[in-house]
Structure 1
Amino acid sequence: MTHRIRLVFFICLTFFMSVPAPNAQARLFGEFSISDEAELGKKVHRLIRTRFDIIDDPEITDYIREIGQNLYKNAPPQPFPLQVEVINHNAVNAFATVAGYMAIFSGLILHMDSEDQLASIMAHELAHITQRHVARNIERSKVISVGSLLGLVAGALLGSDAGGAIAVGSIAGAQSAVLKYSREDEREADQVGLGYLIAAGYNPQAMTSAMQKMRRMQWFSGGEIPSYLSTHPGMDERVNYLSDRIERMDKNLLAREVDNSSFLRVQTLVRARYAEPSSALAYFREEKNQTCLTYLGQGIANARINRVSEARKNFEELISCDDSDPLFLREAGIFYFQFGDIDKSGRLLQKAIMLRPQESMALIYYGRILSEQGHFDTAASYLQRALRIVPEEPGAHEHLARIFGRSGNNFMAHIHMSYAHIYNNNKRQASFHREKARELAVDSEKKAVLISLEEAFRDQSQFWK
């Protein structure tokens, strides 16, 4: 596990530990309430978004969240909704935090073979949430208070990376019995998660096949442990008892087949967009049967390393393969925009939006095209539509700011430029544009707009270095 992964994992786990089971609240934390946990969850969520590169592409996140919701609806009633983020990092990892938050790493998506394998990991993490394992450990240990944990985490976040790692690591060492999942916790998460997996319509064998795949990854990599194994130990033992249980299940459950078309689609996009481009191209070249997804992957990867002629050929083949898929239209439109064919880009993006009005990336790029053509009001409306879908997309805020600046609305220009830098974690520029917006907030309407910016600045800046 890398330094940054270790840091955030322990911070998230530390936050999670600070939340007791409902029947322990009065004994351990006095007035600690569901609203307190909700506030902690927001802080953890904000922490993750400031420390990691979050994927906000709805094509990817909607798919992952749909799996999560399919599992979650089979859990007992919970005090919080399930909220899943996708982190752009090649670690084979996933973790759950307080108040129903879960994080899935792009590396996990790439290394699973099927949707049900991916769902099995998410089901296990969901079970850790619903069974409140760390909270129960806190109840038994009666060692750590919310105040001391928050103080330590705040100190780690406000200090240097190295200092933070030492601070959090020392706490983890001192309270190792509390921080770690016990064998009983892991067994329960496997069993409860397996129930969620089956109830959601997946093949139960996916849970053991996912674990076995991780073990093979360890062997083939010469002993380097995938991140998930280091934080969820005892994999061999767990595979054995799960296999015994699954073998005795109804044969109809074991014969279930899952449609992997959406999984392969998202996996292709993640590989092409976020994996190392040359390795992605090598992967796509090895595919024996050229499909629409192969052309998509090759086109994105070639464009990332400026192989323009190859990428253009890939996207021509892609649109010839299927000219009615919003994802294909979007990606081809983005390519042609980036490499200067604005008219063709506009036609493709407009068609993508017509077929899928919530296609935020197409909305952003089409807004940029309209802006370049001088249609500022219409361009602003497209970018505003995109921000209703992905409100923390810094690029959309930046382009909207430039449109407002060109049209003479300096107040809104500074508002959106400040948002852009807030979500890019650029303290100096975010502060500069916030001050400019403050100076221009001369009426009640502008002051109301400024309040939302101040809240976003405050929430994000508490975790800046």
Structure 2
Amino acid sequence: MQPIRFIAALLVLVVTLAAPARAVTLLRDPDIEHGLKMLAEPVLRAAGLSPERVDILVLDAPSLNAFVVDANSIFLHSGLILRMDNPAMLQSVIAHEAAHISNGHLMRRPINLRNARNAAALGTILAGIAGAAAGSGEFAAGAAAGIQGAAMRSFFSHTRAEENAADTSGMRYLHSAGVNLSGAVQVMDLFRGQESLSLTRQDAYARTHPLSRDRFRRVRALAEAQSGEARPDREAEYWFARTKGKLSAFQRSPKWTLTRAGESGFEDVRLMRQAVAYHRLSDLGRALPAIDAAVARRPDDPYLHELRGQILMESRRIKPAVAAYARAANLAPRDALILGAYGRALLADGQVQQAARRLEEARARDGRDIRVLRDLAQAEAQMGNRGMASVLTAERYAMAGRLKDARIHAERASGLLPRGSPGWQRAQDILATADAAEKRRK
């Protein structure tokens, strides 16, 4: 499936439902997404899902929530990740959401979507799906979208029957994957008492995943029924420490991070967190030695080289940044986020044609990174390809839900590109989306 046509289809389905109410940002960081994939892999396999096809993505939101939109993506709020105390807790959340996919609970979503249109403004759910609003936050990823509270709850909510089924299936997946089931009990305990709170005070998870004391007792009973404790998983502990450590290093204050950098017990994680903290303090003299020391401990780790590139790039050390990103891309040639960052550095260094090739590779592998569309449009414009630059700009605006701006650039592209060409067809997709949006609003 071509990613841009997939996004266009999502736009037709979703973007027209309402005006944005509150911005939500999709955090894109290759290290964090890789760490989550490592934690999710045994659970997804136990659920009969392919780890290569299911992405674990992070929304920049302080609330405790997780949800699925389709069979290929599980979304976790950053606040939920930061509240987890151990890998088993996070894996239990992933197992529960995987169960919603495996059990077919998404089949009724089109009905919910129609109901949400009548109930309240759903807003641009594309925010959490595709990404937009370039340069937002430290992770600079982003999909700006408004998600209206009541309508979002209607769309994402599950019935108690679905929750009970997902609890049972999720616990089975955890047991099969060798994950300690006490993590699921700890997560349920975290949400106990939510039912007694007013709707506005409940955590997002409680509003979209019906909770009950019976559910807590059922999960605890399932955990107690399993004989013996799961053996400690040092690899899961490492990826949990690294994922949560990097996320917190970017979201907490540098002082907070430096005080707690070594709490995980993993030396390279400590150095990585220190590097992020010093970088955010604009202290390259300390950030660079810290990341270099981490790289020395894991010289073939592409994600540490990628972070080194980010630190250098954002410190305007362009040529060393290109070298760092090149090393990362050589080590992880299929990682779209790394390829996009490499292309961005090449573009900043004036290597426009090479940048365009890398950026196009990144776009083909992952159409959700708004920064790649922005940078690729710039590269095409510098090479004199004004029509393709307009198509890419139109797609970027469409992903941001700015369909009026998208239409302007799509119409411009239609006049510049040969009729029937792939770029012209992409422009027509955007125009069709804008037309559908306008009709739905009337």
TM-score of the aligned structures, taking structure 1 as reference length: 0.71
Q: 1:208 to 1:372 in 2, by over 3 A?
A: closer
Structure 1 residue 450 and structure 2 residue 428: aligned? Answer: no
Cα shift at 1:208: 0.8
Structure 2: distance between partners of 1:84 and 1:461: 32
Give the corresponding residue for 1:192. 169
Report the 3-state secondary structure (helix = DSSP H, G, I; strand = E; otherwise coil) of the residue aligned with 1:187: helix
Structure 1 residue 323 and structure 2 residue 299: aligned? Answer: yes
Structure 2: distance between partners of 1:402 and 1:77: 38
Report the 3-state secondary structure (helix = DSSP H, G, I; strand = E; otherwise coil) of the residue aligned with 1:345: helix
- Amino acid in structure 1 at the alignment position of 2:166: A
Q: 1:454 to 1:303 in 2, by over 3 A?
A: farther
Root-mean-square deviation (Å): 4.3
CA offsets 1:44-100 (integer angstroms, 9 cap, x no match): 69999x96322333433344456556434444799xx86654322222111234667
- Amino acid in structure 1 at the alignment position of 2:426: S
Structure 1: distance between partners of 2:395 and 2:65: 30
Cα shift at 1:381: 0.8
Give the corresponding residue for 1:61. 33
Identity percentage of aligned residues: 22
Give the corresponding residue for 1:11. none
Report the 3-state secondary structure (helix = DSSP H, G, I; strand = E; otherwise coil) of the residue aligned with 1:113: coil
**1:139-150 to 2 correspondence within 5 Å?**
149=115
- Amino acid in structure 2 at the alignment position of 1:331: L
CA offsets 1:310-358 (integer angstroms, 9 cap, x no match): 4334334333443332111111111112212223222222111111112
- Work out whether residues 387 and 393 of structure 1, in 8 Å CA contact, stay in contact via their aligned partners in 2: yes
Q: 1:461 to 1:127 in 2, by over 3 A?
A: farther
* One of 182, 202, 206 as aligned partner of 2:183: 206
Greater alpha carbon shift after TM alignment, 67-76 vs 101-110: 67-76
- Work out whether residues 275 and 286 of structure 2, in 8 Å CA contact, stay in contact via their aligned partners in 1: yes
Give the corresponding residue for 1:436. 412
Structure 1 residue 152 and structure 2 residue 118: aligned? Answer: yes
Structure 2: distance between partners of 1:216 and 1:84: 28
CA offsets 1:86-140 (integer angstroms, 9 cap, x no match): 322222111234667542222222221233221212222333444456989x9xx
- Work out whether residues 312 and 320 of structure 2, in 8 Å CA contact, stay in contact via their aligned partners in 1: yes
Structure 2: distance between partners of 1:243 and 1:166: 31
Structure 2: distance between partners of 1:116 and 1:460: 44
Q: 1:45 to 1:210 in 2, by over 3 A?
A: farther
Structure 2: distance between partners of 1:288 and 1:211: 24
Report the 3-state secondary structure (helix = DSSP H, G, I; strand = E; otherwise coil) of the residue aligned with 2:26: coil
Structure 2: distance between partners of 1:302 and 1:216: 40
* One of 44, 65, 83 as aligned partner of 1:93: 65
Q: 1:429 to 1:276 in 2, by over 3 A?
A: farther
- Amino acid in structure 2 at the alignment position of 1:96: V
Which structure ranks higher in relative contact order (CA pairs < 8 Å, sequence separation ≥ 6)? Answer: 2
Structure 2: distance between partners of 1:82 and 1:288: 28
* One of 303, 310, 314 as aligned partner of 2:290: 314
CA offsets 1:402-422 (integer angstroms, 9 cap, x no match): 222122121122222222333
Q: 1:157 to 1:352 in 2, by over 3 A?
A: closer
- Work out whether residues 93 and 184 of structure 2, in 8 Å CA contact, stay in contact via their aligned partners in 1: yes
Q: 1:413 to 1:282 in 2, by over 3 A?
A: same
Give the corresponding residue for 1:269. 246
Structure 1 residue 103 and structure 2 residue 75: aligned? Answer: yes
- Work out whether residues 393 and 420 of structure 1, in 8 Å CA contact, stay in contact via their aligned partners in 2: no
- Work out whether residues 326 and 353 of structure 1, in 8 Å CA contact, stay in contact via their aligned partners in 2: yes
Structure 2: distance between partners of 1:157 and 1:268: 32
Give the corresponding residue for 1:20. none
Structure 1: distance between partners of 2:336 and 2:158: 40
Structure 2: distance between partners of 1:321 and 1:89: 33
Report the 3-state secondary structure (helix = DSSP H, G, I; strand = E; otherwise coil) of the residue aligned with 2:58: strand
Q: How many residues align?
A: 400
- Work out whether residues 85 and 104 of structure 1, in 8 Å CA contact, stay in contact via their aligned partners in 2: yes
**1:405-444 to 2 correspondence within 5 Å?**
405-444=381-420
TM-score of the aligned structures, taking structure 2 as reference length: 0.74
Give the corresponding residue for 1:229. 206
**1:286-305 to 2 correspondence within 5 Å?**
287=263, 291-305=267-281
- Amino acid in structure 1 at the alignment position of 2:315: F
Report the 3-state secondary structure (helix = DSSP H, G, I; strand = E; otherwise coil) of the residue aligned with 1:340: coil
Structure with higher Rg: it is 1
**Structure 1: runs of 5+ lacking an equivalent:** 1-38, 139-143
Report the 3-state secondary structure (helix = DSSP H, G, I; strand = E; otherwise coil) of the residue aligned with 2:426: helix
Give the corresponding residue for 2:329. 353
Cα shift at 1:359: 3.4
- Work out whether residues 281 and 302 of structure 1, in 8 Å CA contact, stay in contact via their aligned partners in 2: no
CA offsets 1:16-48 (integer angstroms, 9 cap, x no match): xxxxxxxxxxxxxxxxxxxxxxx8899469999
Structure 2: distance between partners of 1:347 and 1:247: 52
